């Protein structure tokens, strides 16, 4: 089944404790992206990647890091999480420009 998977689905952590949210897609998509969703703000793009080793900032990259060492994986790293990063995070992928994005199930992160 073609899909985007994220792990973990739920995470409660404390300020300053480094964490990684994994994202993997099995559709051989070149483009992958991370978003955060907050009430009343819609989705805001954090980082995106056009291909392996090619990443770029979205609208709200501060406090986040990403890497794209393999085509299928695009992990999101929070080196020192803070409470304002409490949010619902979505990973997405698409095959080419102008194509629809496929979204993962989401990761609900709470930073205490």
Partner 1 sequence: ELKVEQNPLFLSMQEGKNYTIYCNYSTTSDRLYWYRQDPGKSLESLFVLLSNGAVKQEGRLMASLDTKARLSTLHITAAVHDLSATYFCAVDRYNFNKFYFGSGTKLNVKP
Q: Which residues bind partner 1 (CB under 8 A)?
A: 31, 33, 35, 40-45, 48, 50, 56, 58-59, 90, 92, 97-106
Q: How near is the Cβ of 14 to partner 1 at its closest, in Å?
A: 25
Q: How near is the Cβ of 77 to partner 1 at its closest, in Å?
A: 20
Q: Who's near 50: CB < 8 A, 6+ residues apart? A: 30, 31, 56
Give, rounded to a whole angstrom, the gap between the first and last alpha carbons of the chain. Answer: 36
Q: How many CA atoms lie within 13 A of 43 on its CB side?
A: 14
Q: Which CB atom, from 18 or from 107, has the smaller least distance to partner 1?
A: 107
Q: Which CB atom, from 1 or from 42, has the smaller least distance to partner 1?
A: 42
Task: Please name the residue that has the structure tokens 């964490």.
Answer: 19
Q: Which CB atom, from 62 or from 98, has the smaller least distance to partner 1?
A: 98
Q: Which CB atom, from 11 or from 14, has the smaller least distance to partner 1?
A: 11
Distance, in Å, from the CA atom of 23 to the CA atom of 76, rounded to the nearest integer, reads 8
* Residue of 1, 45, 53, 32 whose CA lies nearest to 99: 32
Q: How near is the Cβ of 41 to partner 1 at its closest, in Å?
A: 6
Q: How near is the Cβ of 16 to partner 1 at its closest, in Å?
A: 29
């Amino acid at each position: 089944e073609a899909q985007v998977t994220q792990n973990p689905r739920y995470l409660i952590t404390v300020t300053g404790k480094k964490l990684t949210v994994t994202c993997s897609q099995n559709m051989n998509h070149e483009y992958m992206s991370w978003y955060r969703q907050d009430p009343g703000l819609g989705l805001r793009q954090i980082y995106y990647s056009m291909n392996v080793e090619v990443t770029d900032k979205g609208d709200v990259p501060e406090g986040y890091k990403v890497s794209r060492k393999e085509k299928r994986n695009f992990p999101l790293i929070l080196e020192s999480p803070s409470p304002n990063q409490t949010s619902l995070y979505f990973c997405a992928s698409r095959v080419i420009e102008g194509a629809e994005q496929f979204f993962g199930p989401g990761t609900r992160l709470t930073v205490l």
